[in-house]
Amino acid sequence: MTSPQSAESSEASGRATGRLPGLHLPNVTRRRFLAWSGVAAAAAGLSVGATQVPWSTLLHGAAHTPLQPGQGVLVVVTLYGGNDGLNTLVPAGDPAYQSNRHELAYQPSEVLDVGDGLGLNPGMAGIKSLFDSGQVAIVRGVGYPEPDHSHFRSMAIWQTASPTSPTGSGWLGRWLDATGDDPLRAVSMDSVLPPLLTGERTAASTLPSAGLTLPTGPSGAAFRALAGVDPGDDTMRARVAQSGRDLAQVEQTLGPTLAASRKQSSATGNDAGNSAGAQSGGAHSQLGDQLQTVAALVEARVPTRVYSVSLGGFDTHADERGTQQRLLTELDGALTPFVQRLQNSDAGRQVVTVVYSEFGRRVLANASQGTDHGTANPVFFLGGPVAGGLYGEQPSLTDLDDGDLKASTDFRDLYATTLAAVLGTDPTRVLGPGRTPVPRLLTT
Amino acid sequence: MTVVPDAVATRRLLDRFGFGARPGELSAAVGQGFAATLDAMLAPAPSDPGVAATPPPALTSIANRGKAGTPAQKAAQQERAQGQNALTRWWLDRMWAAERSLPERLTWFWHGHFATSAQKVNQPAYLLTQNESLRRLGSGDFRSLAQAMIVDPAMLVWLDGRTNRVGSPNENLGREFMELFSLGVGHYTETDVREAARALTGWTVNASTGTARLVARRQDTGPKTILGQTAAFDAPSFVNMVVARPESAAFVAGRLWFRLVSTTPPPPGVLAQLTAAYGPGRDLGALLRAIATSAPFHDSATTLVKQPVEWAIGLMRAVGTRPSSVTTAPRARPVAATAAARADPVHQHLQALGQVPFLPPSVGGWPGGTSWLTPSAQLDRLALAQAVIAHAAIPPGPTGPNAQIDWARQVLGVDAFGPRSTDALRDVAGGDPRSVLTVAALTPEYVIST
């Protein structure tokens, strides 16, 4: 984690050489100095003479330690809308599947065999080849007790890891709360922060969509000054100012890699997201770009331990087959080159990617060639530390709970596995007692 | 609790029940006082010249033509994108132009409540119809509004109501109606969802006229048991029954509170006052009055994060920049920018900030509160503010640094800048007044509605 002292102190005192003590500075400078440096620094007699204070002054000397060998990195991929697990990991040979899914059903010859009578959706050719090389684990039948069929409630349950009261902090937000103040520990690649990365007192950072070019000159100075502390702020205003200080850290630590990655992406017309096929119509894949940026940041060994990306549109109540296969093809086209790229560096081999959705779909298709909200679903783990293969029990298609699949693995046990193996954190600090990590799924 | 002065409460009312003041409006409202300003807001609307000068685009149903990849299909796709762009541009302009802001602010609220996205509803004409219904019914009684939405063409497409038929119900609309539109989670069971879906069967959308119609042979006319009541429920009787429930009153009051007052729920005593005013008539005007006159509305601690659209429209109203007049695009385009968005810089800036009208992220609408206060947002706000203020149509301010800071404060209707923000403003004060306004627009005192 960061150590908020010496770097800035020496820089500030160096700049202050030959100047009067802070007490005699003009009012504006003195006030800014107090606001930025805090009472402790003021008591130490430091002074800031320049009116144009660089970001580093805002950072309280936060010195980031690069990602260390052995420190795991987690990439969370959220599929919004409730991805149909039965048409993702398909029991194509099961007569009950064929009779429930009629027009929606894939034939055994169409799916990509992964054993146990199961096959991946035809859109997932890249993930199938990663599976064959032992880099993909699929945990079947994942859910939680008394499943909720509302997107928002069920997604909130997955993101807070709190089935009974899913309104508080996110599970990775609690990990942030438990591990310090550095805003770079977790980064959302989406500009709006997902609840899973929001803690009680800390939150992950986000990246500006238009790049990290900060204003310069007097406007830049003012922009930076807006990130200062004002004792008169209420909680909300303080959060606005805090977001400016977090931006400073993002810019300083991630900025150079981001700039290089964007340049690379525009130079090569990066269409990594579309390598798997033409179903996406040649459209640019935002997910593919986001994951390539994550790869670049990991390779640069920035200190970020958790990244969040997402893909939406899985709420397939109608005309599901084409829509879902197109989305899974986009996912496959983004994930496959990402996982392959990460195998080429030591830092990359520390990355575990998890793919989940808030629920699966009802076993019986509806009359609109779609499916309604269901329950248990497969969860995918990809990457170097993953011991590939099939885990958990495939839910029965005949022994149902009111038309829905029965879960056999609690998603919180997967979180516990991840917290322990990837983030090196005692799961009880985040999830409470009683969780059982899945043995051998991840190597540490 | 600290009660804010009448002038501050009046400014807050213009922020929360509108999109902020245009030049001169704040001092006029303060002169009238809070009570008279609220009365005027809630009084029946005379014609609004700003609105009259901002007519909606002419949109017609777009036929599905040809197979994927054919020129006919591409032309239809382009027509959709243009229609959606025109629709978004029109509504942003109308939010800006309306002299009476409450109807627009409520339409915006209901759009987030009955959140319907062009992502799936690819007929811009349907979205315009829905938008006009939300505006027409948004301050009347909630029952009529809910009745209109359950058979609204855009809604029937969005939540698959049009495919819901006897013998093979689609649960989407029934579930979201209870969870997100009228009752809230925890006030119904899975069985209620399945039965509600049966009650809503039979409705389809006529593609050529863009109107909803009930097809008798698709309707399930049998008895259904919903929320403990058994009857041959259909769409209207189902809505009436749900909206009449006491949980629905608390839910609707709570949703308005969340967006107009605070992300902290009203205390039980205040909630009871709100639901009493709302009453059996489900009177939204009375509910709004009760909200504005409740004690927390006048408490200095009741701050609210402005959503990106609210912040942007407020800024454009204050400085006199019509949204469609802005021609400065963000430095880099969001990767997913659609062709429609690329044609419209304000649309693009809002996309960077994560909020474009007619494109809510899901049927749950946009997030609230501190979700908007991300590190990247401040940079995206800067880009929008610079573009908007470059097109501002206001007289130049004074020249002295302190006078300029106070001028920017008055233009934006900020009560007072604290020392941090004053300090930041001094970095640019004394130079180009536009830079002072830009910095002022990014101060926590303006990003948050205090």
Instruction: Look up the CATH number of the domain holding residue A420.
Output: 3.40.720
Residues in chain B within 8 Å Cβ distance of A206: 374-377
Residue of A236, A261, A317 to mutate, interface with B, max B Cβ within 10 Å: A236
Q: Of A338, A337, A418, A430, nearest to A385 (Cα)? A: A418
Answer yes or no: is A66 within a domain. Answer: no
One-letter identity of residue B76: A
pLDDT averaged over every residue in chain B: 93
User: pLDDT tens digit string along A392-416?
Assistant: 999 999 999 989 999 999 999 999 9
Residues in chain B within 8 Å Cβ distance of A48: none
Q: Are residues A132 and A253 in the same domain?
A: yes
pLDDT-derived band at A63 (thresholds 50, 70, 90) equals low
Q: How many CA atoms lie within 13 A of A302 on its CB side?
A: 25
Nearest CB to A237: which of B419, B423, B444? B444
> Cβ–Cβ of A237/B172 closer than 8 Å?
no
Q: Which residue of A has its CA nearest to B361?
A: A312
- Write out the H or E segment, with its range, that includes residue A311: strand A306-311
Pick B108 or A254 by higher pLDDT: B108
Q: Are residues A127 and A256 in the same domain?
A: yes
Pick A365 or A271 by higher pLDDT: A365
Specify the pairing of strand A409-410 against strand A136-143: parallel
Q: Are residues A49 and A90 in the same domain?
A: no
Q: Are residues A327 and A283 in the same domain?
A: yes
DSSP code for B21: P
One-letter identity of residue B401: P
Q: Are residues A87 and A42 in the same domain?
A: no
pTM: 0.81
Counting beta carbons within 10 angstroms of the beta carbon of residue B299, is it exposed (0 to 12), middle (13 to 18) or buried (19 or more)? middle
**Predicted local confidence at residue A211, as pLDDT:** 65
Paired strand residues for A113:
A119
Nearest CB to A209: which of B175, B334, B420? B334
**Predicted local confidence at residue B125, as pLDDT:** 97
Lowest-confidence region among A336-350, B68-82, B396-410 = B68-82
Q: Are residues A246 and A366 in the same domain?
A: yes
Q: Are residues A274 and A377 in the same domain?
A: yes
**Predicted local confidence at residue A205, as pLDDT:** 87
User: pLDDT tens digit string along B281-299?
Assistant: 999 999 999 999 999 999 9
Tokens of B155: 């809604």
Angle between helix B308-319 and helix B401-412 axes, rounded to 10 deg = 120
Residue of B376, B422, B442 to mutate, interface with A, max A Cβ within 10 Å: B376
pLDDT-derived band at B28 (thresholds 50, 70, 90) equals very high
Chain A / chain B CB contacts < 8 angstroms: 221
Range of the domain at A20: 6-58
User: pLDDT tens digit string along B330-375?
Assistant: 765 444 455 555 668 899 899 888 899 999 877 888 888 888 988 8
User: B175 to chain A nearest CA, in Å?
Assistant: 8
Helix (H, G, I), strand (E, B) or coil at B66: coil
> Cβ–Cβ of A317/B377 closer than 8 Å?
no
Helix (H, G, I), strand (E, B) or coil at A255: helix
pLDDT-derived band at A186 (thresholds 50, 70, 90) equals very high
As a whole number, mean pLDDT of residues B130-139 equals 97
Domain count, chain A: 2
**Predicted local confidence at residue A444, as pLDDT:** 67
pLDDT-derived band at B114 (thresholds 50, 70, 90) equals very high
Answer yes or no: is A44 within a domain. Answer: yes
* Total residues found in chain B within this entry: 450
Q: Are residues A93 and A52 in the same domain?
A: no
**Predicted local confidence at residue A29, as pLDDT:** 42
Q: Which residue of B has its CA nearest to A27?
A: B423
**Predicted local confidence at residue A268, as pLDDT:** 54
Query: ipTM of this model?
Result: 0.93
Q: Which residue of B has its CA nearest to A205?
A: B375
User: A443 to chain B nearest CA, in Å?
Assistant: 34
Residues in chain B within 8 Å Cβ distance of A218: 427-428, 431, 435
Q: Of A54, A290, A249, A123, nearest to B376 (Cα)? A: A249
> Cβ–Cβ of B167/A367 closer than 8 Å?
yes
Nearest CB to B374: which of A206, A225, A289? A206
**Predicted local confidence at residue B343, as pLDDT:** 67
**Predicted local confidence at residue A424, as pLDDT:** 95
Residues in chain B within 8 Å Cβ distance of A229: 420
Q: Which residue of B has its CA nearest to A50?
A: B427
* Pairwise CA distance, residues B417 & B429, whole Å: 14
Decide if pLDDT at A39 tops 60. Answer: no
* Pairwise CA distance, residues B260 & B305, whole Å: 10
Pick A169 or A27 by higher pLDDT: A169
pLDDT averaged over every residue in chain A: 82
**Predicted local confidence at residue A3, as pLDDT:** 36
**Predicted local confidence at residue A335, as pLDDT:** 98
Decide if pLDDT at B394 tops 80. Answer: no
User: A439 to chain B nearest CA, in Å?
Assistant: 35
* Pairwise CA distance, residues A286 & A271, whole Å: 9
**Predicted local confidence at residue A184, as pLDDT:** 86
Q: Are residues A389 and A425 in the same domain?
A: yes
Q: Are residues A327 and A413 in the same domain?
A: yes
Nearest CB to B163: which of A151, A247, A368? A368
Residues in chain B within 8 Å Cβ distance of A209: 330, 332, 334-335, 351-352, 376, 380
Residues in chain A within 8 Å Cβ distance of B160: 317-318, 368, 370
Q: Of A57, A222, A215, A225, nearest to B427 (Cα)? A: A222
User: pLDDT tens digit string along B412-429?
Assistant: 999 999 999 999 999 999
**Predicted local confidence at residue A30, as pLDDT:** 36
Per domain, the residue ranges of chain B are: 141-261+265-301, 395-450
Decide if pLDDT at B276 tops 90. Answer: yes
* Pairwise CA distance, residues B364 & B362, whole Å: 5
As a whole number, mean pLDDT of residues A15-40 equals 34
Answer yes or no: is A63 within a domain. Answer: no
User: B377 to chain A nearest CA, in Å?
Assistant: 7
Q: Are residues A29 and A145 in the same domain?
A: no
Tokens of B268: 């039980």
**Predicted local confidence at residue A136, as pLDDT:** 98
Decide if pLDDT at B301 tops 90. Answer: yes
- Contacts of residue B409, Cβ cutoff 8 Å, sequence gap at least 6: B416, B417, B440
**Predicted local confidence at residue A38, as pLDDT:** 32
User: pLDDT tens digit string along A168-185?
Assistant: 789 999 999 999 878 889
Answer yes or no: is A167 within a domain. Answer: yes
Lowest-confidence region among A139-148, A275-284, A399-408 = A275-284
- Locate the DSSP E strands across A53-189: 73-79, 89-90, 112-115, 118-120, 136-143, 186-188
* Pairwise CA distance, residues B340 & A31, whole Å: 47
**Predicted local confidence at residue B359, as pLDDT:** 92
Pick A422 or B329 by higher pLDDT: A422
Q: How many CA atoms lie within 13 A of A228 on its CB side?
A: 31
A215-251 as b/e: b if 16+ CB within 10 A? beebbbbbbbbbbbbbeebeebbbbbbbbbbbbbbbb
Answer yes or no: is A439 within a domain. Answer: no
Answer yes or no: is A65 within a domain. Answer: no
| Percent of chain B's residues with pLDDT above 70 | 96
Contact A358, A155 (CB under 8 A): yes
> Cβ–Cβ of A247/B447 closer than 8 Å?
no
As a whole number, mean pLDDT of residues B36-58 equals 93
> Cβ–Cβ of B418/A232 closer than 8 Å?
yes
Q: Are residues A100 and A135 in the same domain?
A: yes
**Predicted local confidence at residue B362, as pLDDT:** 79
pLDDT-derived band at A156 (thresholds 50, 70, 90) equals confident
Widest CA span in chain A: 85
